[in-house]
């Protein structure tokens, strides 16, 4: 069943193009990676899929319903959409604002007026799932980057969304924290749809069934993780790897080298991050 249908989507930040005619579809239950270097448009696409932004041209539909500003003004539709689709930002500080981890994870269910006992039970289960139960009384802003990332995940997973949108889930994390996040994504899912924007080639085969490669706001290629990762010319052309040169005597050799991860800059008063060309 087709979940998202993206047709000819264009989007600009003021005069700067971010997406230029993107067309693709995502089926229910797929694990998709949107792969691209910084500035390729992949983070912008996630925000459009979450109806935080809307296309300048083209259309995006979810379960056959076109996502527009007017449609999102319908409270019943928006309530249903926000329960089903969850977004975890690259920078967890954008999402974390409550005094304790427990309050952070309980915030969504409280807004939905769940019974208090159900909230306590579900918070406890979700914290255990992400191995952060010992942090429940801690202030989120005092946690490490990896701990903040897992709290941000917990705050959306407690609502049991059908779709999880992840923007650079391993960015700026130490190797242990990266491994913990990837292990969770490998284990979580089942019939869920997970769409991850990343330029971290090391995690792609673990978390994806299918990849779209973005470059300059367009889909440059699509295929299985194996197909994409073995296409060195594609990865060099889209700036996901680069040729590393070194000298032996009078001979200079070059070989492909992974593109070093780096964070996006902040946009709109530091409240959201984006990438643009």
**pLDDT tens digits, 160-190:** 899 999 999 888 788 888 888 888 888 776 6
pLDDT digits (tens, 9 = 90+) for 93-103: 888 999 999 99
Identify the band that residue 92 occupies on the pLDDT scale cut at 50, 70 and 90: confident
Distance CA 46, CA 87 (A): 8
Q: What is the pTM of this model?
A: 0.84
Predicted pLDDT at 271: 36
pLDDT score at 248: 52
Taking residues 249-259, report their average pLDDT.
48
Q: How far apart are CA 68 and CA 70, in angstroms?
A: 5
- In the chain, domain spans: 30-40+75-273
Share of the chain above pLDDT 90, in %: 65
Strand intervals (E) in the chain: 2-13, 16-27, 31-35, 57-62, 65-66, 85-88, 163-167, 193-198, 210-215, 218-223, 241-248, 251-258, 266-267, 272-273
Predicted local distance difference test score (pLDDT) of residue 171: 82
| Cα(29)–Cα(31) distance, integer angstroms | 7
Report helix, strand or coil for 177.
helix
Cα angle for residues 181, 275, 9 (degrees, 5° grid): 105
Of 34, 88, 24, 27, residue with least CA distance to 63: 27
CATH code for the domain defined by 30-40+75-273:
3.40.50.300
Pick the most confident of 78-82, 214-218, 257-261.
214-218
**pLDDT tens, position by position, 10-58:** 999 998 999 999 999 999 999 999 999 989 999 999 999 999 999 999 9
Among residues 77, 151, 145, the alpha carbon closest in space to that of 107 is found at 151
Distance CA 98, CA 182 (A): 26
Report the C-alpha gap between 264 and 66 in whole angstroms.
29
Residue 217 has pLDDT above 50, yes or no: yes
Asked if pLDDT for residue 194 goes beyond 90, the answer is yes
How confident is the model at residue 250, as a pLDDT?
Answer: 54
């Amino acid at each position: 069943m087709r979940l998202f249908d993206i047709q000819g989507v264009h989007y600009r930040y003021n005069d700067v193009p971010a997406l230029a005619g993107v067309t693709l579809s995502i089926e229910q239950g797929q694990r998709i990676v949107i792969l691209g270097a910084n500035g390729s448009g992949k983070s912008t696409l996630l925000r459009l899929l979450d109806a935080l932004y809307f296309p300048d041209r083209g259309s995006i539909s979810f379960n056959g319903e076109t996502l527009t500003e007017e449609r999102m003004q319908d409270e019943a539709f928006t309530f249903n959409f926000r329960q089903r689709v969850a977004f975890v930002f690259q920078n967890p500080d954008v999402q974390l604002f409550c005094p304790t981890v427990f309050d952070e994870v309980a915030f969504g269910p409280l807004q939905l007026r769940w019974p208090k006992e159900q909230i306590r039970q579900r918070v406890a289960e979700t914290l255990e799932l992400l191995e952060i139960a010992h942090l429940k009384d801690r202030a989120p802003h005092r946690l490490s980057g990896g701990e903040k990332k897992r709290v941000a995940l917990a705050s959306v997973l407690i609502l049991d969304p059908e779709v999880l949108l992840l923007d650079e889930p391993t960015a700026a994390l130490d190797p242990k924290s990266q491994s913990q996040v990837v292990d969770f994504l490998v284990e979580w899912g089942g019939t869920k749809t997970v769409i991850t924007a990343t330029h971290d080639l090391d995690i792609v085969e673990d978390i994806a069934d299918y990849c779209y490669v973005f470059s300059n706001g367009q889909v440059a290629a699509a295929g299985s993780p194996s197909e994409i990762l073995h296409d060195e010319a594609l990865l060099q052309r889209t700036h996901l790897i680069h040729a590393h040169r070194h000298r032996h005597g009078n001979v200079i050799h070059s070989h492909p080298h992974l593109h070093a991860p780096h964070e996006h800059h902040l946009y709109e008063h530091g409240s959201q991050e984006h990438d643009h060309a």
